[in-house]
Amino acid sequence: MKLIDKVNKALEDDRCFWSFEYFPPKTQQGVMNLYDRIERMCNLGPLFIDVTWRWGGKSSDLTLELCSNSQTVYGVEANMHMTCTNTNFELIKNALDKAKDQGVQNILALRGDLPDNSVEFDPSVGEFKYATDLVRYIRQTYGDYFCISVAGYPEGCLGPEDIDRDIEYLKAKQDEGANMVVTQLFYDVDNFLVWVDKCRKAGITMPILPGIMPIQNYGGFKRMTDLCRIKVPQEIWDRLEPIKDDDQAIKDYGIEVAAQMIRQMQAGGIRGFHFYTINLERSTRLVLERVGLVPAVSEVRPLPWNPSLSEKRAGENVRPIFWRNHARSYIKRTELWDEFPNGRWGDARSPAYGELVHGVQVRLSTEQAVRRWGTPASTDDVKELFVRFCRGQLDTLPWSDTPLQPESALIQARLAEINSRGFLTINSQPSCNGAASTDKMHGWGPPNGFVYKKAYLEFFVSSSAMKDLLARLDTEPTVTYHAVNKAGELLTNCAEDSANAVTWGVFPGKEILQPTIVERVSFLAWKDEAFDFWNAWARVYDRASPAAALLRAFSDEWYLVNVVENNFQKDSASIFELFDGLGQPLPEKAQ
């Protein structure tokens, strides 16, 4: 979808909106971490994100990949930067064709930096001189397909003496087909509001989004404002001077400054705000919270998972619960499907999942992984790590790159307890019997609805403990389960082709939605990934080490099990009663 349509709708509703900018990391580890951050920050409700661009090799390809995956996997519109300095028509067309092929419909058209700090354009090097040329080329070549954003400079591109000339250039970009403006960062709101007024008087009618960069540290702030020739009010320098060596105090003050800027701009009629995140999350989140820009549940959770913006998946509204923490993998393994489930998990589902081509990876470097998880020497060491994760004392495990879901706070103590007994959980949800769709803990979907959930647990368990567990599960008429080992030997009490809805919602004027299911074929596809995480963890250590051998043994000898308590009217604690007296608890000291 074109951003200008979403922006105009928000402005018509007199509704505030915000967006986040990221840059492509230089390492694969950094890329994986950025994906996790984008996924988390989508919960803050951005109208869109944008990703910066550098020509050459992997950099520009990575920008497109980040934009495409953000839309397809995380369901947030992406605005792709594109620079034109030292390029030609063929290069630009190839890049834009790729963007169009991958469903990216929004471009931030920029001139870009000239090489070697030069200030004059060399016509022998490229076929574009200014961003205006790029805007014109995109419109002439692609018609109305792309929404085109352009840069604005409230303090002049090269200095205050350029302000009036820059406004003329901005008007020319609008005349060539640009749709909206994202400004360079600034800290003088009075000056910005004067500049906006000048733009309007010059005939610029495009929406203007102010660029906001919360201050993170003194040195970086000084370098950035010097580089961009940004005027900083003396009051800010006076407040920074006595705390310039205290990074936390600087960050806290940066949040205060950004919040005050937004309040002042809101009073001046501004409704859209663009955050230069520099790939950081905390300051942006706290600024939004401080000024009360908190999205409604229906905006960030139309379903329990982030719906894809891919045109091909437009009708998709059912997914298996197993990939709850691994959306990218699910998208990748189903990208060749011809149709996606809409309404029910039935004939529309393709009969096959794509293969795991490269296997799974631990999202931490070796040093980071050892720092967090140590070097396990026994089963009890591994159990203790899972217990700490459940208690919020550890923020990541190989199966989950983020802490427990907020709803898991309701069952946190019971999760820790069964993990201490050797039932190592990697996925769970509490039951819910008709919570309001606006509920902060359980809610999803449009307002005035009600949501329901069956209690669900997914865990690894040793083959010896499995026998006792299954003997108990088989006596429970409302409990269904699947258990499988690495070799694919399956034990279950479910009918072969049945899909079990574990989340559903009832909304005014709509059919009942069943967006999350448990189903055999999907579970058997997921188990390959689930077991492979043990091997990925083992690769953190020397192959011949006891720690690596221990972790491989979990993969080779344990079972992966999912259990559903189908009586959703029962309290969430009831599913944990199935484990009472089973397993071997950790020694008192370890807990």
Residue 133: burial class (beta carbons within 10 Å; 0-12, 13-18, 19+): middle
The distance from CA 47 to its chain's CA centroid, rounded to whole angstroms, is 13
| Beta carbons of 559 and 492 less than 8 angstroms apart | no
CA angle 400, 401, 405 (to 5 degrees): 65
In angstroms, the CA 466 to CA 447 distance is 42
In angstroms, the CA 325 to CA 459 distance is 14
Q: Is 21 a catalytic residue?
A: yes
| Beta carbons of 473 and 491 less than 8 angstroms apart | no
In angstroms, the CA 336 to CA 342 distance is 17
Residue 547, Cβ neighbours under 10 Å: how many? 21
Q: What is the DSSP string of 513-548?
A: EEEEEEEHHHHHHHHHHHHHHHHHHHTTS-TTSHHH
CA distances from 165 to 156, 180, 181, 590 (A): 8, 18, 16, 69
Q: Give the side-chain half-sphere CA count within 13 A for 273.
A: 30
| Beta carbons of 478 and 567 less than 8 angstroms apart | yes
In angstroms, the CA 298 to CA 261 distance is 28
Residues facing 224 on adjacent strands: none
| H, E, C per residue of 41-110 | HHHHCCCEEEECCCCCCHHHHHHHHHHHHHHHCCCCCEEEEEECCCCCHHHHHHHHHHHHHCCCCEEEEE
Sheet harboring 499-506: ordered strands across? 319-320, 513-519, 499-506, 450-453, 432-436
Q: Nearest Cα to 297, choosing from 446, 178, 426?
A: 446
Element (H, E) at 554: helix 546-557
Q: What is the DSSP string of 253-267?
A: HHHHHHHHHHHHHHH
Could you tell me the two tokens for 266? 């809101």
In angstroms, the CA 104 to CA 310 distance is 9
Residue 123, Cβ neighbours under 10 Å: how many? 8
Catalytic residue chosen out of the listed positions 21, 77, 519, 565: 21
In angstroms, the CA 52 to CA 54 distance is 7
Q: Nearest Cα to 219, choosing from 239, 244, 236?
A: 244
Catalytic residue set: 21
